[in-house]
Amino acid sequence: YMLIARTTPYFVFYHKGYMRSSIYDKDRDRFALEDEALTFEQFQHLLDKEGIAGAHFMHNVFSVYSQQVMRAVFHASYDKLVDSGKSYQLFELNFLIDDSFTMWYLGANSIPGFSIHSELKIYNDMREDMISLVLELN
- Contacts of residue 50, defined as CB under 8 A and 6 or more positions apart, other chains included, come to 30, 31
Model confidence pLDDT, tens digit, residues 37-83: 778 888 899 889 888 888 899 999 999 999 999 999 988 888 777 66
Per DSSP, the three-state class of 54 is: coil
User: Does residue 8 come out as left (phi exceeding 0), alpha (psi in the -120 to 50 range) or beta?
Assistant: beta
Among candidates 12, 11, 8, 28, which has minimal Cα distance to 20?
Answer: 28
Q: What is the pLDDT of residue 15?
A: 84
Q: How many residues are recorded in the chain?
A: 138
| pLDDT(27) > 70 | no
Q: What is the pLDDT of residue 34?
A: 53
Quick one: CA dihedral 65, 71, 77, 82, positive or negative? positive
Model confidence pLDDT, tens digit, residues 81-114: 766 656 677 888 899 888 888 999 999 887 766 5
